[in-house]
Structure 1
């Protein structure tokens, strides 16, 4: 795709998906980063092909779960979002 056509496509993508994704491109890649840091889907989409890129923007993959560290789990801590909550409720450790 020529640079002018690529920039035109980028402009359209930002118009349609800019409320959910920060979209950019390189000469060979299409890249989108989710605007919502707590999204349940993947945070970053990277594709070579524009059609595949649009498909992934429309239907992003599920975000993999980050497991609780085994030591904290044995000590009674529980995972809440991106933090671990103390069993005493005295404070959180940020992940």
Structure 2
């Protein structure tokens, strides 16, 4: 594929998956980062093959782990400072 064709495909994918994935590419890789902070699937997809990449955008692989913020015992001790995932602990642990 040519660079012009890849650029056109990139713009199309960005439009189709807007709000779900932030998509970019390098010379050899297609990269998508989930827009949802606590997504139930893998937060990032990196593929060399465009067809595999699009299949994974449609049906993302499972996440490898869970954020500590998904655990109520941890999350309940924090106050959310901003909507973009910044938290602070009002009463930090003492040593």
Give 5+ residue unaligned stretches, structure 2.
Answer: 79-86, 88-95
Q: Kindly tell me: are residues 63 and 3 of structure 1, through their superposed partners in 2, closer, same or farther at Cα, counting changes over 3 Å?
A: same
Separation (CA, whole Å) in 1 of partners of 2:43 and 2:65: 12
Size of the aligned set, in residue pairs, is 78
Q: Work out whether residues 38 and 67 of structure 2, in 8 Å CA contact, stay in contact via their aligned partners in 1.
A: no
Q: Deviations over 1:62-87 (max 9, x none)?
A: 1133498xxxxxxxxxx32xx616xx
Separation (CA, whole Å) in 1 of partners of 2:23 and 2:67: 29
Give 5+ residue unaligned stretches, structure 1.
Answer: 69-78
Correspondent of 1:84 among 53, 57, 74: 74
* Matching residue of 1:64: 64
* Matching residue of 1:19: 19
* Matching residue of 1:10: 10
C-alpha root-mean-square deviation of aligned residues, in Å? 2.3
TM-score w.r.t. the length of structure 1 is: 0.71
Q: Work out whether residues 33 and 43 of structure 2, in 8 Å CA contact, stay in contact via their aligned partners in 1.
A: yes
